[in-house]
């Protein structure tokens, strides 16, 4: 491994290449000002203080209003801020993949969030579900795979955890890869008492990635899952 020194900084060319930087991108980085390592992080304490919490609305989801202060990068504390946050619990989603058929089991359903935003509010998505109290992400995934797609997960492995929209929503997504037999998937599913009307679609990986490339996938969790699959194609059947 070749180590390059720039000012007080040291880095390796392979480390940049690993994260997708081209040779020319790396060369350009050599001409950027270097911040010495001991100056990159101030002694700021990552602290915040909740002064007040109120429920603005309680329906299927909760909308809360907070008054708070937090530490500043330049030192000290912020003024008292008012922030609203949608609290809808946490969820789990899964890339249902049949590596033998090189196919994915996906679902299509109507989404109120897409109304007035997209021309077609029926979205093609990964199987997903909200975590109930005391329920693990893995339990959610196995339940939802049966309820929404009618198939059993043969093997399950974690991909990532991420906040869906941290600027105003507390929801965290637990994303998984699940190996399935796509031959048993199909039909129309969903819980009638929840008003669900879900159609299962089995698509090849090439078709799904083509839809992603064409901008036809609008669900953020699905975008992340398909991008992960594209990066790990050929190795994801080890789940």
What is the set of active-site residues? Answer: 194
Which residues fall within 8 angstroms of residue 136, CB to CB, at 6 or more apart? none
Contacts of 180 (CB under 8 A, 6+ apart): 96, 97, 98, 105, 145, 149, 151, 152, 153, 154
Token pair of 103 as six digits = 């196919």
- Annotate 103-149 with three-state secondary structure: EEEEEEEECHHHECCECCCEEEECEEEECCCCCCHHHHHHHHHHHHH
129 vs 2, 18, 55, 125, CA distance in Å?
46, 34, 24, 12
Nearby residues of 48 by Cβ (< 8 Å), 6 or more positions away = 68, 69, 70, 71
**CA–CA gap between residue 237 and residue 69 (Å, rounded):** 47
Per the CB < 8 A criterion, the answer to whether 223 and 217 are in contact is: yes
Q: If you ran DSSP here, which 8-state letter would residue 80 be given?
A: P
Structural tokens at position 235: 């190795």
């Amino acid at each position: 491994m070749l180590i390059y020194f720039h000012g007080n900084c040291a880095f390796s060319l392979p480390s940049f290449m690993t994260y997708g930087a081209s040779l020319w991108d790396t060369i350009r980085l050599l001409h950027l000002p270097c911040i010495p390592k001991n100056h990159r992080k101030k002694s700021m304490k990552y602290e915040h203080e909740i002064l007040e919490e109120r429920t603005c609305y309680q329906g299927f989801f909760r909308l809360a209003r907070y008054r708070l202060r937090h530490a500043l990068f330049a030192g000290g504390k912020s003024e008292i801020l008012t922030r609203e946050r949608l609290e809808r619990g946490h969820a789990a989603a899964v890339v249902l993949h049949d590596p033998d058929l090189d196919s994915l089991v996906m679902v299509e359903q109507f989404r109120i969030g897409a109304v007035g935003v997209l021309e077609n509010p029926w979205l093609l998505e990964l199987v997903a579900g909200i975590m109930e109290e005391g329920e693990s992400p893995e339990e959610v995934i196995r339940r939802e795979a049966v309820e929404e797609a009618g198939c059993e997960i043969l093997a399950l492995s974690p991909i990532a955890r991420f906040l869906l929209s941290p600027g105003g929503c507390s929801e965290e997504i637990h994303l998984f890869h699940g190996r399935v037999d796509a031959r048993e998937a199909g039909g129309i599913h969903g819980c009638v008492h929840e008003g669900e009307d879900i159609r299962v679609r089995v698509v090849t990986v090439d078709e799904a990635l083509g839809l992603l490339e064409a901008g036809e996938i609008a669900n953020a969790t699905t975008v992340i899952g398909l991008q992960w699959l594209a990066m790990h194609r050929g190795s994801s059947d080890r789940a």
